[in-house]
Structure 1
Amino acid sequence: MNGDEQLLRGRVYGRDHDDPDPGPLPHRTYAALMGGPLDGLLLDITDRQPEEAGDGVALATELSRWPGGRALYDPDPAEPHRPGPGVTCRFHYTGDAP
């Protein structure tokens, strides 16, 4: 695991890496990002509407194929999304976009 990967593990996407506690909060709901440049990060999905449950995300990152581009992650429809706080599902890397 390189330094960038270690920096990302267990951290919530969008939280500052200098934050003294960049990890998950107990009352929020998260998707674990699997694979790709953001592997190991958690994505806060607390405010996603039920109709968005199957929608993927395009997350800005300097670690994508295109610096300043986006890493694309989609939920696996075969994996159930359980309600409640904590890590409730996984989003899998599907590619990059400029």
Structure 2
Amino acid sequence: MHYEFLLNERLGIPLPHLYKEWDEYKVETQSEILLTWEKIRGRIPDRIEEIEVTINRKQEQLNNEANFQRSCELNAEISELASVINDLWIWYRANQNISSAKVHQ
């Protein structure tokens, strides 16, 4: 196999892992990769929504937390989840441009 999609535990979605340069793949293989990625990419907004629900829950906990140490932990968790959302949006947008460019060649 010259490519695969591996689950990224942090992001919660599979990401493409190409073992050759893009131009070294046959057009048919490029199409397979892009089709698979578009299916995954289409689920990114739902994944972001799931994380936002978790962030909102943690923010509510933070609003009611009196323990300073726990407040710091919640802030760190919220920050990490926000970072995951940011990374998901980067994957969503960057690969949209790549996919469009490759399809239109």
TM bucket normalised to smaller: under 0.3
Greater Rg over alpha carbons, structure: 2
Higher RCO, 1 vs 2 (CA within 8 Å, ≥6 residues apart): 1
Provide the TM-score with structure 1 as the length reference: 0.20
Q: Give the TM-score, by structure 2 length.
A: 0.19
- Give the helix-richer structure, 1 or 2: 2
Task: Flag the structure with higher strand content.
Answer: 1
